[in-house]
Structure 1
């Protein structure tokens, strides 16, 4: 009979790790079933034309959204270098969902095409953006103190403008002599910007 410590208990799988593969498999089965259903009703050439047309439309949407996002980034960086305040938001927050819509259009399948076309509609993008903001806000609030979410919160509280001042803290009440720049005793050099 062997003596020793019992094996560690198996870690419980998260619901996402269980459900996501099942959802992807179900989505693939439904996509294939819809393609065969449409192919039987309208013909294989029609299905091929639908898939190619959706792929071309998706590529054009991704290209346009990427250019718009890059242009917005360039304008923001130029305004920050010029010392101007933050640029007013001109609806550029939907670029991510616009790109996602284009990518869904590029995927072969009718369900992904419908989801991609829905994301091309501005009201749907705005609703998805609000939902994503609320979900992210909930996740950030749920983080425990000392985590990444807490670090972001403290950074907002202490440095609202985002400026970082490099320097060194010198405490006059610290006991003992202060070391100099070469490790020996002596005055410290002044801080430079």
Structure 2
């Protein structure tokens, strides 16, 4: 639901920006700027993709784990998707992901957040709490290798299973 809401807000912002720029500079100039942004974005995408691939190959050649290179590749792919979308806000976001210093900031933040979530999941698992809000927790007890419900049904069970008293 959050992703859908984010996409809806993003589309509204893109359309609003396109209308504002179109009113300010005209239709032809707006289309020209969109095309120019796509061309510049695709050139940067190609250059950064090649650099990341070379860095990835070097990491494998030196037997070093290519964690940063993989993260860069994912962020460059996301930038490629943003470049394809028509709009100025998506082009600015793509440029933000294509420049190495800002891409490092984003990848570090994503890594830090993933580590925090993993630590929280481990703690929740250790203390028997559900890991996510949507997970289902079933209470039960093991008696002689058979899982039996903790709650006692008021009606006898025809299956012959023993009931807890």
- TM-score, normalised by the number of residues in structure 1: 0.53
By relative contact order (CA 8 Å, sep 6+), the higher-ranking structure is 2
Deviations 1:46-91 (A, max 9, x none): 11111111111222222222222222232233334xxxxx3799x7
Q: Compared with structure 1, are the counterparts of its residues 88 and 94 closer, same or farther at alpha carbon in structure 2 (3 Å cutoff)?
A: closer
SS of structure 1 residue aligned to 2:90: helix
Deviation at 1:108, TM superposition (A): 0.7
Q: Does 1:20 align with 2:3?
A: yes
Corresponding residue of 1:63: 46
Corresponding residue of 1:40: 23
Q: Compared with structure 1, are the counterparts of its residues 87 and 135 closer, same or farther at alpha carbon in structure 2 (3 Å cutoff)?
A: closer
Deviation at 1:100, TM superposition (A): 3.0
Largest Rg, 1 or 2: 1
Q: Does 1:79 align with 2:57?
A: no
Greater helix share, structure number: 2
Aligned-residue Cα RMSD (Å) equals 2.7
Cα separation, 1, equivalents of 2:119 and 2:8: 33
Native 8 Å contact 1:57 1:102 kept in 2: no
Could you list the runs of 5+ residues in structure 1 that have no partner in the other structure? 1-17, 81-85, 147-193
Could you list the runs of 5+ residues in structure 2 that have no partner in the other structure? 127-165
Q: Compared with structure 1, are the counterparts of its residues 72 and 118 closer, same or farther at alpha carbon in structure 2 (3 Å cutoff)?
A: closer
Deviations 1:101-131 (A, max 9, x none): 3432332111112222233444422321221
SS of structure 1 residue aligned to 2:86: coil
Native 8 Å contact 1:97 1:125 kept in 2: yes
Deviation at 1:99, TM superposition (A): 4.1
Corresponding residue of 1:30: 13
* Aligned counterpart for 1:53 among listed residues 36, 46, 54: 36
Q: Compared with structure 1, are the counterparts of its residues 78 and 125 closer, same or farther at alpha carbon in structure 2 (3 Å cutoff)?
A: closer
Greater strand share, structure number: 2
Q: Compared with structure 1, are the counterparts of its residues 26 and 72 closer, same or farther at alpha carbon in structure 2 (3 Å cutoff)?
A: same
SS of structure 1 residue aligned to 2:62: helix
- TM-score, normalised by the number of residues in structure 2: 0.61
